[in-house]
């Protein structure tokens, strides 16, 4: 009734096919306001090579919603909605790749977007397993540490004094709590490290209108 999923794919190379998926399973807090979805484009790189691009915007987890509104504390989920949407995405990928004569030797896959799951959680690994089991895709936003994997925050960013950089779109319960919700998965062997681009912001202490988004941008370079 109010919003779309905010998804788009731009390419300087020809897009030979494109499809979208509106998840059948929608969370109770999204149902009347926004249709969480995924978008696909098959990009012709020439010389028989294709890049299969998926981007998505899934539902916030129930734990996340409980920090946004007290009403969410009344709800319980046997199977998290975001995981069910992950399963739908996996089926969507298989259907499209099987119908495109996908060639694992010449074609590459990228899946990216606002997953709305925290890095390293069970919800995160649900997606990671879907991508790795069939297509050997890895998360290139993950940084290998000495003792544990780390991710650079993309949401809830703060300035040098710890003051939230975005307050208009970020719920009070989530402000100033840096976390990673945005990821890039790919099977491309020659994928460079990703980087988070912190958006230009107005003086955070003077105005509510600060950054143009509550998420920072994430970029990477992939050699096909």
> What pTM was computed for the model?
0.88
Q: What are phi and psi of 86, to 5 degrees?
A: -60, -40
Q: What is the structure's pLDDT at 75? A: 62
Residue 176 φ/ψ region, left for φ over 0, alpha for ψ in the -120 to 50 degree band, beta for the rest: left
Range in 42-51, 70-79, 210-219 with the lowest mean pLDDT: 70-79
pLDDT digit string, tens, across residues 68-100 = 666 655 566 667 889 999 999 999 999 999 988
Q: 160-195: per-residue pLDDT in tens? A: 888 888 887 787 878 888 999 999 999 988 887 889
User: Quick one: 177 exposed, middle or buried, by C-beta within 10 A (0-12, 13-18, 19+)?
Assistant: middle
The yes-or-no verdict on residue 209 having pLDDT over 70 is no
DSSP annotation of 30 reads: T
Instruction: List, in order of start, the domains of the chain with CATH numbers.
Output: 15-219 (3.60.10.10)
Distance CA 84, CA 97 (A): 20
* DSSP symbols for 150-172: EE---BS-B-TTS-BS--SSS-G
């Amino acid at each position: 009734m109010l919003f779309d999923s905010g998804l788009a794919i731009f390419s300087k190379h020809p897009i030979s096919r494109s499809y979208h998926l509106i998840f059948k399973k929608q969370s109770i807090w999204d149902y009347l306001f926004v249709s969480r979805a995924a978008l696909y484009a098959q990009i012709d790189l020439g010389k028989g090579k294709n890049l299969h691009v998926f981007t998505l915007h899934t539902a916030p987890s129930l734990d996340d919603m409980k920090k946004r509104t007290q009403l969410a504390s009344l709800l319980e989920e046997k199977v998290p909605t975001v995981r069910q949407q992950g399963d739908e995405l996996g089926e969507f990928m298989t259907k499209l790749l099987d119908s495109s004569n996908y060639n694992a030797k010449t074609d590459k896959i990228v899946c990216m977007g606002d997953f709305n799951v925290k890095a390293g959680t069970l919800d995160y690994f649900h997606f990671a397993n879907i991508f790795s089991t069939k297509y050997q895709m890895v998360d290139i936003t993950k940084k290998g540490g000495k003792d544990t994997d780390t991710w650079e925050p993309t949401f809830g960013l703060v300035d040098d004094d710890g003051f939230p950089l975005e307050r208009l779109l970020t719920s009070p319960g989530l402000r100033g709590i840096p976390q990673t919700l945005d990821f890039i998965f790919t099977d491309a062997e020659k994928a460079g490290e990703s980087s988070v681009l912190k958006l230009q912001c107005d003086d955070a202490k003077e105005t509510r209108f600060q950054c143009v988004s509550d998420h920072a941008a994430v970029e990477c370079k992939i050699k096909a």
